[in-house]
Structure 1
Amino acid sequence: MKRRSTRRKSNSGAPKWMVTYSDMVTLILVFFILLFSMSQIDLVKFEAISESFKNRMIFEFYPSPVPMENPTENTSNQESGKNSNEFENPTQIENINDRDDTPEEAEDSLDKLMGDVGQYLDNNSLNNVVSASRTERGVVLVLQESILFDSGKAVIVDSGKPFLDKIAKLLSNIPNHVKVEGHTDNRPISNFRYPSNWELSGARASSVIRYLINEKNFDNSRFTAVGYGATRPIVPNTSAINWSKNRRVEMVIMENNTE
């Protein structure tokens, strides 16, 4: 007897569970479509989200995982700025002022100013009575009290006016702001005009500025008067020689953009 051959049933079409799964997905899709149709779109939020996607800052620094069809064309557009919105965001552009000096330029400006002042003092034989130094504030001219004032007074003596005239000629050649500072020693003073060293130092600084403005017609806005009293000695107040060094008027010729 021949053995009866068994026929294998061939499965045709999708599995039965796929029908149920597709029905469920269709119902869920219909459900979300109904929710969307009944909802109201907030135009303000929608425009904000849309604008955020337009801003290239979100995607600018991240490489795209999708290869470009025409990389050469897209690169040229990006380099030319055709597809960018750089000018739509002005806050991203660095604010550069032509008047702002870099630290190197400011340093060179002060060094040149110091050279000019030193040359002027040499040409006018002022090195014995006026000393100049270069600091972070600018160029500092130091005039001792004995050149300009009598002891305990703030009236410029006649013998000191020629020195101020020469300094005025120097200042007339440069537009820099000038800060005039009065200093005293630590010995107290008390009279009807100057109750303390504060008033005396401030009055001396003001006398120098008043002379330059009244006699040389300088602009008031160029000057600042400050009285430090005995708070900033350059040497210890321990002897008569040191006292005389601390009694001084300093004229700080400041860098151009420094007030």
Structure 2
Amino acid sequence: MISRRRSSRKPAQKGSPKWMVTFADLVTLVLVFFILLFSMSQIDMIKFKSIAQSFNTQGVFETNDSIVPGEYPSPKMNKEEVNKNEQSLDQLAKEVQKYLEENKLEDTAAAIRNERGVVLVLQEQIVFSTGDAVVLQEAYPFLEKTGKLLKAMPNLVKVEGHTDNRPIKNSIYPSNWELSSARATSVIRFFIDDIGLEPERFIAVGHGDTRPLVPNTTEENMQKNRRVQIVISDPTYKE
């Protein structure tokens, strides 16, 4: 009886090899990945074009010098409004100067009318103790007088702190920058808390010793340089 050997060869499988299926999945995932990258880049380009177009559009920065509305307004005033503003600033300067003369403060304070508006220059000794930023009670009457005058007008007010060039370093004020800024802020807080003026009208600036009136060569000159300046701004003036 003749026996037949069974063939050990496995029958050929139909369809693609298994490795090709895995490879195809990998290629598909890579393709999807690059499609996502491309779509994201397109979105960024659209955003970039939109931002660039917004900067090219005029009008946004023509009405306000700041993104905060009303922070540095420069309104277009007609002739009547300009005249009224000039008269208000002139009157304020006269009122303050009269107060200084009546109270014999001309040697330590001054009211200056210039293109910036009205600049009230107060030497350190009538507002603060040396190296301190707490408003002295002796300064209350003058600041109250100034605050009442400011209530009658809408002008912005910039308060600037100045020091001499002698360095200061303690736990409160590491340098003259902090001291001058704190003094400007203290005056503003007095106008807001005690007089009831609107906070948005004020700007505090600390110049340290970078804006001396006279050279810091004598004690008398240093005393003049240690000061606070209250600038009642002329809205027609742009720095």
Per the TM superposition, whether the score is higher than 0.5 is: yes
In structure 2, the residue matched to 1:163 is 142
Q: Is the 8 A contact 1:110 1:139 kept in 2?
A: no
Q: For 1:63-212, list aligned pairs within 5 A.
A: 100-101=76-77, 106=82, 109-110=85-86, 113-123=89-99, 125=102, 128=106, 129-212=108-191
Q: Is the 8 A contact 1:106 1:255 kept in 2?
A: no
Q: Is the 8 A contact 2:93 2:112 kept in 1?
A: no
TM-align CA RMSD: 2.4
List alignment gaps of at least 5 residues for structure 2.
1-74
Task: Flag the 1:107–1:234 CA change in 2: closer, same or farther, 3 A.
Answer: farther
Greater RCO (Cα-Cα under 8 Å, separation 6 or more): 2
In structure 2, the residue matched to 1:234 is 213
In the TM superposition, what whole-angstrom CA distance separates every residue of 1:72-110 from its partner, at most 9, and x where no partner exists?
Answer: xxxxxxxxxxxxxxxxxxxxxxxxxxx513799758844
Q: How many residues align?
A: 161
Shift of 1:120: 4.1
In the TM superposition, what whole-angstrom CA distance separates every residue of 1:123-176 from its partner, at most 9, and x where no partner exists?
Answer: 562552431112222110001100010000000111111211111111112211
Larger radius of gyration: 1
Secondary structure, aligned partner of 2:207 = strand
Q: Is the 8 A contact 1:179 1:251 kept in 2?
A: yes
User: How many Å separate the matches in 2 of 1:150 and 1:123?
Assistant: 22
In structure 1, the residue matched to 2:9 is none
List alignment gaps of at least 5 residues for structure 1.
1-98
User: How many Å separate the matches in 2 of 1:212 and 1:158?
Assistant: 14
Q: Is the 8 A contact 2:165 2:209 kept in 1?
A: yes
Q: Is the 8 A contact 1:114 1:133 kept in 2?
A: no
In structure 1, the residue matched to 2:226 is 247
**AA aligned opposite 1:178:** V
Structure 1's consecutive aligned runs of 4 or more residues displaced over 4 angstroms after TM superposition are 102-108
